[in-house]
Copies of this chain bind each other. A is one copy, B any other.
Amino acid sequence: MSADVAASSQGPLAMICGGGALPMAVADYVAARGRKVVLFPLSGAADGLPVERYPHHRIRIGQIGKFMRLARAEGARDVVFIGSLVRPRILHTIPDFKAWTMMPRIIAAFRGGDDHLLTGMARLLEDEGFNLRGAHEVAPEILAPAGVLGGVQPSEADRADIEFGLDYLDGASPFDIGQAVVVANRHVLAVEAVEGTDLMLARVGELRANGRIRGASGRGVMVKAPKRNQDRRFDLPSIGPRTVEGIARGGLAGIAVVAEATVIAEAEALIAAADRAGIFIVSVPERRP
């Protein structure tokens, strides 16, 4: 589906934008295909993005009614969620939703894991006649290609740790936990849950600094993979230059992601940073369930 959707230009694309480099990159890729984009930067998350380069309307988390009104006025029916977003506190979000009749379903969406939240939001939009698209569907350029990215190669031991990490993530997948795990010598050093990848990597650095992690620096792999059955239209695993900083601080050897199922932010900067730090980035073929 990826190809034709990416190629299609059935009216403007509405992009609900969080933070980071991805929203503008995706907007540029889509615009380069000759498709109009309309940005909806989320206050607090997307502040500072050069959204002026495209038609845009600032919205706050929870202003789904406002979003739908403006998107319809722009003639946009395809919608993409893109960019980083710290999970909102429902207590902060409720007031924005007050006028709105779907509160019970919003609350239900918040109750579950992240997938549950995003899938719930998706359904709400689709019930209103919008089509949720994955950013990788409209801009396939952002997906990690298969193979070793950059100049550093994983060792055989690293490959074994990667398989071990993928085994764990497969097993943990039904529980909708995080998408990442750190493995060294087939020993799990850290598991990502609500704290997110950056805080998990910071923890690994601290544990290494205070001796809770044995072995020399430069061993260990962060393995990041999409959860089985997660809705890939949003929340695909992603890595970027900041991930490399975390890997270096954690004293790890490298990063393993799943090819064509991982979003890469600032690919050139990512690979340059990894090569400078002597960190490998390998993109492995997806396992079939």
Contacts and interface: CB of A to CB of B under 8 A. Distances in A.
Chain A, interface residues (CB within 8 Å), range = 35 or more
A182 B199 CA distance: 17
B168 A175 contact: yes
A11 interface: no
Contact of A175 (B171, B177, B190, B195): B171
Contacts of A111: 185-187
A86 B176 contact: no
Q: How many identical chains are in the complex? A: 2
Interface string A76-108: 000000000011111110000000000000000
B112 A186 contact: yes
A88 B214 CA distance: 8
Interface string A157-193: 0000000100110011011110000100111111101
A21 interface: no
B175 A211 contact: no
Contact of A191 (B87, B185, B191): B191
A116 to B, nearest CB: 8
A90 B214 contact: yes
Interface in A194-224: 194-196, 199, 203, 207, 211-215
A220 B198 CA distance: 23
- Per DSSP, chain A at the interface is mixed
A234 interface: no
A67 interface: no
B191 A193 contact: yes
Contact of A176 (B110, B187, B214): B187
The listed residue with most B CB atoms (<10 A of its CB), out of A86, A191, A203, is A191
A86 B214 CA distance: 11
Contact of A188 (B167, B176, B185): B176
A214 B89 contact: yes
Contacts of A195: 190, 203, 207, 212
Contacts of A110: 214
Nearest to A183: B175
A34 interface: no
Most chain B CB inside 10 Å of its own CB: which residue of A185, A187, A190: A187
State the 7 A-B residue pairs at the shortest beta-carbon distance, nearest first. Answer: A191-B191, A89-B211, A177-B188, A171-B171, A90-B214, A168-B175, A190-B193
Interface of A: 86-92, 110-113, 164, 167-168, 171-172, 174-177, 182, 185-191, 193-196, 199, 203, 207, 211-215
